[in-house]
């Protein structure tokens, strides 16, 4: 008694038949082509067993790589006098991290709020909230008259519980790592958080 015909068996039978016909055609073409001088045509037949799934070859564009974590700057490269001091690549910002605070001197936007009735000249964060301030002396600049080394874009200077970094678009960001409070300043915008 013959087995019942299922769709999978029909597909398999058709594939085997096609393979057999292709094999005979290829053999005939090879034997007649070599004797008559005609080119030999070889046809490749690809078969798959019923129920077998072929892997996808192209799954679309690759996902962009995750951005790298900011590189850590070596604090010893910025150590001087009573803290760790750096400059922005533009030279507009002079900043530092001291034992109890981090701050920057630079050109804040014209719309920045007054600090005790005076135009602010920088920002500072300590153990409390960050604020814009009018510095009476260059507290976050080297006292020796030298220019502090540049903190490159994409690097973070972390020391004494504070972290500072510079973004080419956003400006300088300094934060108290314990409280999460800090500031971002540039000559066109500021943010106290």
pLDDT in tens, the chain (193 residues): 455 555 555 545 544 444 444 444 444 444 444 455 555 555 555 454 555 554 445 555 565 555 556 689 999 999 987 899 999 999 999 999 999 999 999 999 999 999 889 999 999 999 999 999 999 888 898 877 788 999 999 999 999 999 999 999 999 999 999 999 999 999 999 999 9
Please report the pLDDT score of residue 123 as a whole number.
Answer: 97
> 101, exposed or middle or buried, with CB in 10 Å at 0-12, 13-18, 19+?
buried
Q: What pLDDT is stored for residue 69 in this prediction?
A: 62
Task: Give the Cα-Cα-Cα angle 111, 129, 133 (nearest 5 degrees).
Answer: 40
The pLDDT assigned to 31 comes to 47
State residue 30's pLDDT score: 46
Tokens of 138: 């260059």
CB 141 within 8 A of CB 148: yes
Q: Put residue 173 in one of left, alpha, beta given phi > 0 → left and psi -120 to 50 → alpha.
A: beta
Q: Which residues, other chains included, contact 24 with Cβ-Cβ below 8 Å and sequence gap of 6+?
A: none
């Amino acid at each position: 008694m013959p087995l019942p015909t299922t769709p999978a068996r029909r597909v398999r039978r058709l594939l085997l038949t096609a393979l057999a016909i292709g094999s005979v055609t290829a053999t005939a073409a090879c034997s007649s082509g070599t004797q008559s001088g005609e080119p030999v045509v070889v046809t490749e037949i690809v078969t798959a067993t019923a129920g077998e799934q072929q892997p996808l070859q192209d799954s679309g564009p690759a996902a962009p790589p995750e951005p790298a974590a900011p590189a850590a700057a070596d604090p010893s490269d910025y150590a001087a006098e009573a803290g760790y001091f750096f400059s922005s690549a533009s030279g507009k910002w002079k900043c530092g991290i001291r034992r109890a605070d981090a701050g920057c001197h630079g050109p804040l936007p014209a719309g920045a709020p007054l600090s005790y009735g005076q135009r602010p000249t920088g920002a500072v964060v300590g153990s409390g909230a960050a604020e814009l301030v009018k510095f009476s002396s260059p507290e976050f600049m080297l006292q020796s008259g030298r220019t502090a080394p540049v903190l490159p874009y994409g690097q973070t200077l972390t020391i004494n519980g504070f972290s500072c970094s510079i973004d080419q678009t956003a400006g300088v960001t300094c934060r108290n790592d314990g409280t999460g409070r800090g500031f971002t300043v540039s000559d066109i915008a500021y943010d106290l958080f």
